[in-house]
């Protein structure tokens, strides 16, 4: 059996930056164990699998090298980029998912705009001591969404300088960890907020650019900054830029993408 595979750098307009994802269109689902093995072989933060349901409509699933993921933004962006390249007549795609409902992606020039459900980060009654110990630098406050702990800092330099203890962060699973701060003073102040994302319990130490977590970051920073359109930067080593907008209970996250490779996977029938 041969399967097409594409590797795309997402949330960037140039190769070797942003976040790399593999995209594998399928004619029928493989066993979950095989989907995980392919993701492990790819050894990227995510591999997205697509099953066509109708014209412009796909079921999407995302796998890290460790497990299936409930929600992934950059691999959705990468998938849309590939599908728009293969079907240039389309201007909108719809992705059905297991955990977060239907997601749409529309062309906006050379940017692709994803429409996500809002996933709020809220206060919690008790914060694990391992969180503070892992981060080393105490945040101003800690919140939690369905996806991750949110460590809120007062300046971007603190976020950029973090060297968290990954073994301690792993104890916080199933939740991941995002550290975030206003963008004032960072890279000439061109960004409204910055973030970094750590997920040793579910994928890897640091994710280069995490589209999904902006479904929680955007509502938070929209309230803090008093604006609904925001430009975000994920301050990983590779880095990535996200155009974001809050629309009632939806969050629009836009990014660019570039194709790195395409090829074939060979599986025994």
The model's pLDDT over 151-181, given as tens digits with 9 standing for 90+, comes to 999 999 999 999 999 999 999 999 999 999 9
Q: Are 61 and 98 in contact (CB under 8 A)?
A: yes
Q: Where are the alpha helices (DSSP H) in the chain?
A: 32-42, 73-86, 129-135, 156-161, 166-170, 214-225
Q: Are 116 and 215 in contact (CB under 8 A)?
A: yes
Q: Are 60 and 79 in contact (CB under 8 A)?
A: yes
**Looking at residue 175, what is its pLDDT?**
97
Q: Which of 46, 89, 188, 245 is catalytic?
A: 46
What structural domains and CATH numbers belong to the chain? 2-115+254-266 (3.10.310.10), 122-248 (3.10.310.10)
For the chain, what percent of residues have pLDDT higher than 90?
97
Is 245 among the catalytic positions?
no
Start-to-end Cα distance in the chain = 6
**Cα–Cα dist 42/144, whole Å:** 30
Residue in 241, 242, 260 with CA at minimum distance from that of residue 251: 242
In this structure, the chain runs to a length of 269
The model's pLDDT over 191-210, given as tens digits with 9 standing for 90+, comes to 999 999 999 999 999 999 99
Burial letters for 193-203: b for 16+ Cβ neighbours within 10 Å, e otherwise?
bbbbbbbbbbb
**Cα–Cα dist 261/16, whole Å:** 12
Taking 80 as the threshold, does the pLDDT of residue 269 lie above it?
no
| Helix-then-strand count for the chain, H and E | 6, 18
**Looking at residue 35, what is its pLDDT?**
98
Phi, psi angles (nearest 5°) of residue 168:
-70, -40
């Amino acid at each position: 059996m041969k399967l097409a595979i594409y590797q795309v750098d997402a949330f960037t307009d140039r190769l070797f930056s942003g976040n790399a994802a593999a995209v594998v269109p399928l004619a029928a689902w493989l066993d979950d164990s095989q989907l995980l093995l392919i993701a492990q072989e790819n050894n990227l933060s995510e591999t997205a699998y697509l099953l066509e349901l109708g014209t412009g409509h796909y079921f999407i699933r995302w796998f890290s090298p460790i497990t299936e993921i409930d929600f992934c933004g950059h691999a959705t962006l990468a998938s849309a980029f590939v599908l728009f390249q293969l079907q240039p007549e389309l201007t909108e795609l719809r992705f059905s998912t297991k955990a977060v409902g239907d997601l749409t992606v529309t062309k906006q020039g050379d940017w692709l705009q994803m429409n996500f459900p809002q996933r709020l980060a809220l206060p919690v009654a008790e914060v694990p001591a391992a969180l503070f110990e892992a981060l080393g630098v105490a945040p101003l406050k800690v919140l939690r969404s369905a996806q991750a702990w949110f460590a809120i800092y007062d300046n971007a330099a603190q976020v950029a300088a973090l060297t968290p203890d990954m073994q301690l962060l792993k104890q916080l699973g199933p939740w991941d960890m995002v550290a975030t701060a206003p963008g004032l003073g960072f890279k000439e102040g061109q960004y409204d907020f910055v973030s970094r994302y750590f997920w040793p319990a579910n994928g890897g130490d640091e994710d280069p650019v995490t589209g999904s977590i902006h479904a929680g970051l955007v509502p938070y920073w929209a309230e803090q900054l008093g604006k609904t359109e925001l430009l975000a930067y994920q301050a990983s080593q590779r880095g990535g830029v996200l155009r974001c907008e809050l629309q009632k209970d939806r969050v629009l996250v836009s990014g660019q993408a570039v194709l790195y490779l395409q090829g074939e996977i060979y599986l025994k029938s």
